[in-house]
A and B are shown apart, each in its own frame.
Chain A
Amino acid sequence: MNTYNKSMALTGEPPKSLSIGQKLAVLLGLSGLGILLLAVLNVGFPNKTLWLTLSLSAISIGIIWFSWNAYSNKLPGIKNDGVWFKSISSRGLWGWVAGLALTGFYIVLYFYPEYLGLVSEGDNKGVIGLFDPLSKFLNGGPASQWFVYGTLYTVAILVFGIKFLWKYRHNRYEKLRTLSVMFFQTGFAFIIPELMARLNGHKILNGGSLPYYDLKNIWPLNYYNFEGYRIKMFLSSGDIGFALLIFGILSIFVITPILTYKYGKRWYCSWVCGCGGLAETAGDSFRQLSDKSTFAWKVERWVVHSVVVFVTLMTTAVIYSYLGTDTSKYWLTKSSFLIGVAVLLTLVFGWAMIFKRDQLQKDARYGAIGYFVIIIALIGFHFFSGEGEVFLFKSGTLRKSYSFLIGSIFSGVIGTGFYPIFGSRVWCRFGCPMAAILGFQQKLFSRFRITTNGGQCISCGNCSTYCEMGIDVRAYAQKGENIVRASCVGCGICSAVCPRGVLKLENGPLEGRIDSNQVLLGNDVDLMTLVNKK
């Protein structure tokens, strides 16, 4: 059907062609990347501060210039012209090239940082060396591959955030949301932890050292938050360290449920979270590539919930492994901890099964039962198995496999590297345990929903196409049904692209939140009552 000739040329015809300004902007941006690449190849730069500034400025200005050129001469409104004609945003050749390049970057970053110039003893070389002056300026120490990554990540969210702000300048929800992710990334993920590192050894921390802590990075997304070395660091850092540890626990068990009840999981996933922040800004051009099939939805439910089980087991194992057995030394022991975990899981599970049975899809129910049994069984195994092992495995093995499979491969290599192939939210949708937990609550116990406006839907499909989470929004809207889905991150784009004003993200009473109508508003009142009565 699509007779439009897809070509990889940067020229081409409107709406996919680039203006002269945009071509120059691309060149400028690439030159900035070029400097980084030269640094990777160990080209020595005499004045690192100058060259790093040049490089980051060239990248930033290139992107901002490009965006300005794209949107400034157009009236405010939806800017999706040519999205499916452009090679980069429709899985064309440039899409694959970008995907492979990003994937390659992640593999090197996670597994071969020495190629980036990481030197454990002595001065860094390569591109990491190039970032040393900035690192020393912020936290007093030399850069690591994570510092380089964190800086580039923040720059990406900021400059693509500016692009997004222009693109959606008619939409205040989108603007505020984007300013929010830009703020949280810059402040909480980047600057605060770097400055906190300067306090290490200070008397305010009783001479202790705080672990690197991005306060908004909550367990289980931050799967290592409760590991032994971090707990030791927290506890060695006086009242501040202790407060941070308590904050980490409260984040997941108290703060998160309250906010999710009031606003849905969007308060986190599309307003605060760093992964979400990158997806919404740098990943925005790829949101339409998510798979909307019911098959993908099925895979999503199985995979993401398996990750939750995995991370729960792993964290339990890790904490278990460093706890003692003597109650007189410390109130929390191996056994009381395990019992605590089991009780908590049972409470949550029992609540869902008893009060929310009707809202759970059949397979979700089976899945929940299955996983519950596994966890209980594994905990049971412990009481019948010997010392040194938790559940069936050594905790260290579990920790390492999680970190490799989920922390690196899933969230990084696949999650971000494949943006141009699978869309921008692969990690959030299929992999993130935090998203799954928030989603579970959003589905069952939250005021948030996307309201469908009576009978106004024309089934056009813009909402589904531009849903980054692969939700077939239209399937609900055309039935006059509100959208209440665990995976919805509340980005608001479905509502923005709807040409008929059908969708509204809002918080309201739980009563009547999920409304399924066989016959939609607009028809004979008698028929509607006849058919819609439950």
Chain B
Amino acid sequence: MEHIVIIGNGIAGVTAARHIRKLSDKKITVISAESKYFFSRTALMYVYMGHMKFEHTQPYENHFWKKNRIELVQGYVTKVNTEEKSLQIDGAPDLNYDKLIIATGSKPNKFGWPGQDLDGVQGLYSKQDLELLEENAPNNKVCKRAVIVGGGLIGIELTEMLRTRDIPVTFLVRESSFWNGVLPQGESEMINEHIREHHIDLRLGASLKEIKPDENGKVKSIVVEETGEEIECNLVGLTAGVTPNIDFLKDSGIELGRGVKVNRFLETNIEDVYAIGDCAEQHKAIGNRRPIEAVWYTGRMMGETLAQTICGNRMEYKPGHWFNSAKFLDIEYQTYGWVFSEQRKKENEAHFHWRHPNQKICITIAFDKDSETVLGINTFGIRLRHEIFDGWLSEKRTVDFVMEHLRDANFDPEFYKNFESDIVAKYNSDFGKSIILKKKNLKRIFKIA
């Protein structure tokens, strides 16, 4: 029986394992040094905040793995021998594989800051990071102030977490506005305001120069590059992005770039070795995507695709329309298709932006200046129906069409106040149009003839 070994039990590895099991009877082993059972990494923050216990982040009951004959090995793979097809594992006996799937995820970026390895400096990625955070910042007596470095999704999550324990937080964001490499200005500014209304000391255009230790080698303070200001703190959170976690593959002969290099079939340069999820790097970026996509959904999608290949139906990784979501403190964010920030915007990309006069709700639609085809949408504080918008992108609908049918795409809970008429009114006045908003139509929404 063919033995499939998967290194890493995150969403990519576990999705691959589940789908291989559905499609075949192959022997499946999943190796992880991080945790015995699969858990949702994106939910770690809720454990620190007391919304959930760690067990709640595990999507499958413990008996699931045995029932589905997926063997779990706890250990750290130290060496991959692709000639003998064997693995050396710290903490478990060596293993042989017939096919190997590398799904080892990421690790937090460190950019060589002085003091970056001090006690009290950490990232937030793994279960171990969470445990470390409980030591470094159990309460606001041990941790009198925290400094978070890096204004991205993990940065704002870590900030939110610490605030639930009333720990004062200084949030260093290198950019002139929060996440404005990704978000258009109007949205980015709204999030700035929201961060500040949560009593977070947001410092824009501020980067880290160095971290200073006390006499015990613990963090004492940090120095801001731009101003030279020294800020006393007991915790430094490094959240300036992540890098593929592939150090153990250095001498394996597997081609590495920043990540494990793979082709569109998720195959590495070595036969029977594949890579998926955060740690995989495409030779050539797919469409507007980045070569390395460290996102939950893409990890899942790669796992689904590779399972087909492994089970005899060789299949290219062909992601559909880009989508993503996040939550910035109290504001939910969803995106479908591509909406670029001013910095990355292409020449033909035009934006329509609407923001609620006093609530933290806004929407941006990107469209092609010439054809008026919709390229993507960002919403903050409004939920959208994935299937509807995905369909509109595939059908290359114009922005007029989207405006007309905007109510069909709304996914807010029942009885929520809807803002489609305000949005369309603004659109009409911005672009001199006279779109009339259509009523919500269940037949269109549920695609019933």
Contacts and interface: CB of A to CB of B under 8 A. Distances in A.
Interface of A: 1-5, 13-16, 75-78, 80-86, 170-173, 176, 293-294, 451, 453-456, 458-462, 464-465, 474-475, 478, 492, 495-497, 499-501, 504-506, 508-509, 511-512, 518-528, 530-531
Contacts of B127: 1
B59 A453 contact: no
A521 B330 contact: no
Given A520-B301, A527-B318, 20 more contacts: A1-B47, A1-B55, A14-B165, A75-B198, A84-B50, A453-B383, A456-B386, A458-B40, A458-B43, A459-B11, A459-B42, A459-B59, A462-B52, A464-B56, A475-B59, A499-B327, A500-B334, A522-B300, A523-B319, A527-B305
B446 A84 contact: no
B390 interface: yes
B334 A1 contact: no
23 contacts: A3-B134, A4-B138, A76-B330, A171-B416, A172-B413, A172-B416, A173-B413, A454-B385, A455-B300, A458-B42, A458-B43, A460-B46, A461-B43, A464-B56, A500-B327, A509-B448, A512-B448, A522-B297, A524-B301, A524-B317, A524-B319, A525-B320, A525-B394
B139 interface: yes
Contacts of A170: 330
Interface residues of B, number: 75
B413 A461 contact: no
Given A15-B164, A504-B383, A172 B52 contact: no
Given A455-B323, A521-B320, A521-B387, A2 B139 contact: no
Interface in B331-352: 332, 334
B445 interface: yes
Interface in B293-322: 296-297, 300-301, 304-305, 308, 315-321
A302 to B, nearest CB: 19
Contacts of A85: 50
B431 interface: no
Contacts of A523: 301, 304-305, 318-320
A440 B236 CA distance: 54
B40 A521 contact: no
A506 B383 CA distance: 14
Interface string B399-436: 00000000000011111110000000000000000000
A189 B443 CA distance: 40
B49 A524 contact: no
A76 B320 CA distance: 35
Nearest to A512: B446
Given A458-B296, A522-B297, A527-B318, A465 B323 contact: no
B334 A522 contact: no
Contact of B164 (A14, A505, A509): A14
Identify the 9 closest CB pairs spanning chains A and B, nearest first: A454-B386, A77-B330, A501-B383, A460-B43, A524-B318, A82-B50, A14-B166, A13-B139, A1-B54
A2 B54 contact: yes
A511 B198 contact: no
Contacts of B320: 521-525, 528
A81 B50 contact: yes
B385 A453 contact: yes
B65 to A, nearest CB: 14
A496 B140 CA distance: 29
Contact of A499 (B304, B332, B385): B332
B417 A465 contact: no
B197 interface: yes
A461 B52 contact: yes
Interface in B108-161: 127, 131, 134-135, 138-141
Contacts of B297: 455-456, 522
Contacts of B387: 453-454, 521
Given A499-B327, A499-B332, A527-B318, A518 B22 contact: yes
